[in-house]
Amino acid sequence: MLLSCFCALVLVVPGPCFTEYLKRYYNLKKEPFGRRKRSWPSFTSKVKDMQAFFGLNTTGAVDSETLEVMLSPRCGVPDVEEYSHNLGTRWNKNVITYSIGRYTRDLPRGTVDSLVESALSVWARASSLTFVRSPTRNADIMVEFVSYAHGDLYPFDGPRGTLAHAFGPGEGTGGDTHFDDDEHWTTGGNGFNLYLVAAHEFGHALGLKHSRNPESLMYPTYKYPRTLSLLSREDVANINTLYGPLRGRPHYFPRYGWSSQYSPWLSGPQYPRLMQNKCAPDVTFDAVSTVGDATFFFSEGYLWIKHNEQYDIKEGPITNFMPKIESSIDAAFWVPRRSTAYLIHGMKGSLVKGKPKPLTNFGFPVWVQDIDAAVHIVKTGRTLFFIHDIYWSYNENRRIMDIGYPKLISEDFPGLNTTISAAIHKEGFIYFFIGPQVYKYDYTHKHIVGAEKANTWLGC
């Protein structure tokens, strides 16, 4: 139930846009005919309520900061309803069913299934809840991708603005979660990340209200930080208050700082825990690379090492294996002819041995701030660097960038239309890791030939 303020683009008539925003999210009521103004909540007082919620200066005037928040894509659930308390109603059970009705055209059905499952598991891992997919349309949580008016009195508004909305627990429409299919839904940082938005909306479907805390998953506006874990301590405490903590496991307190790739409203790494759950359905990798006879999987500040001829997997914080690496790894690749692995973090590319060097050493322009993924192809002697929707080709023999780059990923890799998390070349194929999925790509014939969960590479 998000609101689009397209009229703000026409600055000569801003008033109705602000009014609609305050009506939708802060219960501004139309003044009845004949009622004296002082007896009805004023526009100014509602602006102050909104400013207080978002931690702005409570001037009562729509200044630039207030306007920026009003124009931000956001969840459509109102902020003011009981917003001094983050909890609402709850399901009178801990096993919740869900079903997916209409799908989006932006992603394969299997990807949507996986992202919805992963978003629900965010709450399951932090509480005693269990989610079971139902084959019928009578599930507790019905997921639908719809546009404009869709039968629930809360029409969507086209691209941007209102992204999604969800109803709290209860009969009928209770728990139902709707996504605006006029948005561009993705698994990465372009468009709107479905995993992030779904996790937020499912919080409402479970009974949580919006939070004033910008670090909370339940904060109303959409943002896409480079981090893995979604839940703040507040989110965990609130879901545990409604449904109880996960039995037999310590409380889940994930927030320990900012870093790497996959997630939206959110927070920090999932450890310190003794072990990461490599078989969790939402496991993603920031970088994957062979290093000698082993394969390294990086996720936030965590590392799994799988030796190709062995079944056991070594794992732990990266610093356990590489004490000099103090940040998460964004991309990694192995050049066999030099027996050298390159780890890229931030604006620096590091050798496993040797001093860090800036990305400009590869020939990147200074505006390149980070790399999403990198992969070396032995047969061609090229290393491909992927950044958002473009990529570069680096000649390892001559140690220069190939002429004519960057190029669009979508043109040279048909079927890949979102940000790539990690990549690795094996047995003639490039494997692209995108969110919790990995896609097997035939580089010769330019098409995807297979897909599976990313954590199957760790034996799950």
Domain residue spans of the chain: 6-71, 95-243, 287-458
Catalytic residue among 31, 144, 171, 201, which? 201
Q: Look at residue 36 in the predicted model and tell me its pLDDT.
A: 45
Non-local (6+) Cβ contacts of 15 within 8 A are: none
- Residue 283: how many CB atoms within 10 A of its CB? 25
Residue-level pLDDT, tens digit, the chain, 460 residues: 333 332 322 222 334 477 888 888 887 876 654 444 443 457 888 888 888 888 889 888 888 888 888 888 889 888 876 433 445 589 998 889 999 999 999 999 888 988 898 899 889 888 888 888 888 778 999 999 998 888 887 888 888 888 999 999 988 889 999 999 999 999 877 899 998 999 999 999 999 999 999 889 999 999 876 454 688 889 999 999 899 886 533 333 333 222 223 233 323 333 333 356 788 888 899 999 988 778 999 988 888 888 765 566 788 888 777 776 767 888 999 888 887 888 887 544 444 445 677 888 888 887 777 889 999 999 899 999 998 888 999 999 888 999 988 888 988 998 887 889 999 998 889 999 998 999 999 888 888 888 889 988 988 8
Non-local (6+) Cβ contacts of 404 within 8 A are: none
- The distance from CA 139 to its chain's CA centroid, rounded to whole angstroms, is 25
Non-local (6+) Cβ contacts of 339 within 8 A are: 292
- Residue 343 sits at φ, ψ, to 5 deg, of -115, 130
Active site residue 201: yes
Q: Domain 6-71 adopts which CATH fold?
A: Muramoyl-pentapeptide Carboxypeptidase; domain 1 (1.10.101)
pTM (2 decimals)? 0.53
Strand partners, 384: 375, 393
Non-local (6+) Cβ contacts of 206 within 8 A are: 90, 91, 96, 123, 129, 169, 239, 242, 243
Annotated binding residue at 63?
no
Numbers of helices and strands, H then E, in the chain? 8, 25
Q: Which long-range contacts (CB under 8 A, 24 or more apart) does 251-257 make?
A: 252/125, 252/126, 254/229, 255/215, 255/229, 255/231
Q: Look at residue 183 in the predicted model and tell me its pLDDT.
A: 94
Annotated binding residue at 345?
no
Select the CATH number that applies to the domain covering 95-243 from these four: 3.40.50.2000, 3.40.390.10, 3.40.50.1000, 3.30.70.270.
Answer: 3.40.390.10
Annotated binding residue at 5?
no
Q: Look at residue 156 in the predicted model and tell me its pLDDT.
A: 86
Q: Look at residue 446 in the predicted model and tell me its pLDDT.
A: 86
Summarised one tens digit per residue, pLDDT across range 50-68 is 888 888 898 888 888 888 8
The Cα–Cα gap between 334 and 343 comes to: 9
DSSP assignment string, 104-142: PSSS-HHHHHHHHHHHHHHHHTTSS-EEEE-SSS--SEE
Domain 287-458 class? Answer: mainly beta
Tokens of 118: 């992963």
Q: Look at residue 363 in the predicted model and tell me its pLDDT.
A: 86
Summarised one tens digit per residue, pLDDT across range 347-362 is 444 444 456 778 888 8
Annotated binding residue at 447?
no
Annotated binding residue at 205?
no
Annotated binding residue at 75?
yes
Annotated binding residue at 157?
yes
